[in-house]
Amino acid sequence: MARAFSLRGTIQNLNDGRVKVIAEGEENDLERFLKAIDIKNTVIHVSSISREYSEATGDFESFYKLVEPGETDSRLDQGVVVLKEILGAIKDMNADIKDMNTNLGGKMDQMLEKQDQTIEEVRGLRQEIQPGVTVQLRHVQEDIRAIKERLGMP
């Protein structure tokens, strides 16, 4: 971020967990930089910022990080841990979704199979009922004719 604001200076992780920043640049760029580093998210949470102003020394050609021999960036390490957790959660979710899709596909196949069975049963019932209904209808028609004849109706 410091480089994006054309600042020069250093940043250094201190043993007590604080971060020391020495930055030189235009006043408005320094103010924008202060706002930009006031970070509060999952990986980084800046609890407070203390600042001191003094005349620029001109000793810095660019902006860089000071590190002790063998030092790793603990925030980067913490970020990697968080990213690994996120990737693991995503992998688990993908596996769960794949299982759901597999199960859903199987359920859909079962439903379609049941639907086909039901259609066949209805067709069979229709074929069984139809002759009986036709015979009963004939009997009803004959009964109606007989009643009409007794009543003297044409």
Compute, in degrees rounded to 10, the torsion defined by CA atoms 79, 80, 85, 90: 100
Does residue 2 lie within any of the structural domains?
Answer: no
Mean pLDDT along residues 128-151: 81
Looking at the fold, whether 91 and 154 belong to one and the same domain comes out as yes
pLDDT digits 0-9 by tens, 24-34? 999 999 999 99
Does residue 3 lie within any of the structural domains?
Answer: no
**Could you tell me the two tokens for 73?**
């960036």
Looking at the fold, whether 92 and 140 belong to one and the same domain comes out as yes
The last residue of one of the domains, among 70, 97, 117, is 70
CA distance 131 to 153: 30
- Calculate ∠ Cα 96-94-104, nearest 5°: 45
The total domain count for the chain is 2
Question: Are 30 and 23 spatial neighbours (Cβ–Cβ below 8 Å)?
Answer: yes
Looking at the fold, whether 98 and 152 belong to one and the same domain comes out as yes
What is the extent of the structural domain holding 84? Answer: 72-154
Question: Is residue 118 very low, low, confident or very high in pLDDT (cuts 50, 70, 90)?
Answer: confident
Compute, in degrees rounded to 10, the torsion defined by CA atoms 51, 53, 57, 61: 40
Give SS3 for 31.
helix
Q: What is the model's pLDDT at position 70?
A: 65
Does residue 1 lie within any of the structural domains?
Answer: no
pLDDT digits 0-9 by tens, 58-116? 999 999 888 777 666 666 667 777 888 898 899 999 888 888 888 887 788 888 888 88
Q: What stretches of the chain show up as alpha helix (H) in DSSP? A: 27-37, 74-151
Q: Lay out the sheet containing 63-66: strands in order across.
A: 19-24, 8-13, 63-66
Rg, C-alpha atoms of the chain? 42
Counting residues of the chain whose pLDDT is more than 70, the rounded percentage is 92
The last residue of one of the domains, among 70, 92, 110, is 70
